[in-house]
Amino acid sequence: MKKATMIIMGTLLLLSGCLEYRESIWLEDDLSGHMIYEFGYPEFADVRDGDMDNADILPDTSQTDGIRILSYNTYEQDDMNWIQVELEFDNILIMNYCQQDWLGTIEISDEDGNLKYSRQVTISDSMDTSEFGSALKLAMFGQYQWTYTVYFSDEIIEANTPSIRIDAQNNAVTWEYSFASVLNEMLQMDAVIDNKNFFQKTIHSIFK
């Protein structure tokens, strides 16, 4: 896992001096769903064709049932080059078997009859700050963002993110971090979701 992260992070950091990440997950009641994640780097970065051939951006699905790669694309937007991956999963907990640190570890648990979504992402332990020192100094300015968004199927009760980043209408929670935080801290994302509809739908599916 750490080797895969070192390859992609190291390649993009050394070539561009900065790196953005954004991710969206659509999570269903049965914990299946799909995900889109993207890495971005400035257009001025000296990244040539072939530079990213060894960067392990796609999760290794060869040994993991229940994850399917839907697409892999590149595009330009707002002076940034983006690498985009879309995948679907049968159960979000299967993502814990992927070999990318930026996906982190996901836990689903019960909290007073409600569903609790927890996620930890630790990239700092994977980075050798002595090897990528110059790039890390530039990153410390913090102008580049890492953004994680989850669209839940039911009402959000609470989440450890500013209220402005909780979209009650779309049952979505966004966690946003500076690149400097990503490289120096463990990211902790928590959300509690109203689980009543999950049980109602489960019972309905059994007796329909």
Strand pairing report for 114-122 and 186-193: antiparallel
Contact at 8 Å (CB) between 112 and 155?
no
User: Where would I find the beta strands (DSSP E) of the chain?
Assistant: 20-27, 33-42, 67-77, 80-89, 105-111, 114-122, 145-151, 156-159, 166-167, 172-178, 186-193
The pLDDT score that the predictor gives to residue 196 is: 67
Give me the amino acid identity at 172.
Answer: A
Q: What is the spatial distance between Cα 106 and Cα 64, in angstroms, rounded to a whole number?
A: 16
Query: What are the boundaries of each domain within the chain?
Result: 2-207
User: Per-residue pLDDT averaged across 68-80, rounded?
Assistant: 88
Q: pLDDT higher for 160 or 7?
A: 160
Candidate from 17-26, 40-49, 117-126, 152-161 with smallest mean pLDDT: 40-49
pLDDT band at 16 (very low <50, low <70, confident <90, very high): very low
The pLDDT score that the predictor gives to residue 156 is: 96
Please check the confidence at residue 168 and state whether its pLDDT lies above 70: yes
User: Per-residue pLDDT averaged across 25-29, rounded?
Assistant: 95
pLDDT band at 131 (very low <50, low <70, confident <90, very high): very low
The helix/strand/coil state of 10 is helix
The pLDDT score that the predictor gives to residue 146 is: 87
Q: What is the spatial distance between Cα 207 and Cα 152, in angstroms, rounded to a whole number?
A: 25
pLDDT band at 206 (very low <50, low <70, confident <90, very high): very low
Which of 27-31, 42-46, 58-62 tops mean pLDDT? 27-31
The pLDDT score that the predictor gives to residue 81 is: 84
pLDDT band at 5 (very low <50, low <70, confident <90, very high): very low
Give me the amino acid identity at 35.
Answer: M
The pLDDT score that the predictor gives to residue 151 is: 98
